Amino acid sequence: MSKKLFTQDEIDILSKNKYVRNVSSKGITYSDEFKRLFIVENQAGKFPRQIFEECGFDINILGIKRIESSWKRWRSAFRRNGISQLQDTRKFNTGRPTEKHLSIEEKYEKLQAKVKLLEAE
């Protein structure tokens, strides 16, 4: 987590952005829509900073370190299980790990997502 704390003015500015679900003095929660958009744009060759700026975020408020750590976290999640891994599951999570076996279609989608990511690199 970043050491930078948001001021009340910064919280007000960030909370007006349509891609922000929640913001507090210590952190920010981005919408699932933004995370998906970020991955698509990043695979198209855009830099993380550029994507954040185009989506209306003030880089001076967020800080480069926060942007880079978000990018690394989302990229890693996308590599593991594709776009579905980017969804914020805190509201659905019971705390118990699922023991679900993936169907052939789900395995295929997961592998396709990995191939797309590797091709983008």
- pLDDT at residue 7 is higher than 80: yes
Chain segment 31-51, per-residue pLDDT in tens: 888 988 998 899 899 999 999
- pLDDT at residue 89 is higher than 60: no
Does the pTM exceed 0.85? no
Residue 97 is predicted with a pLDDT of 60
Dihedral angle of Cα 12, 13, 15, 17, to the nearest 10 degrees: 160
Q: Where are the domains of the chain?
A: 32-90+100-120
Residue 105 is predicted with a pLDDT of 86
- pLDDT at residue 88 is higher than 70: no
Strongest mean pLDDT among 15-19, 98-102, 112-116 = 15-19
If you average pLDDT over residues 4-28, what whole number do you get? 91
DSSP states along 23-85: E-SS-EEE-HHHHHHHHHHHHTT--HHHHHHHTT--HHHH-HHHHHHHHHHHHHHHHHHGGGG
Residue 59 is predicted with a pLDDT of 92
Take residue 100 and report the two structure tokens written for it.
Answer: 């679900």
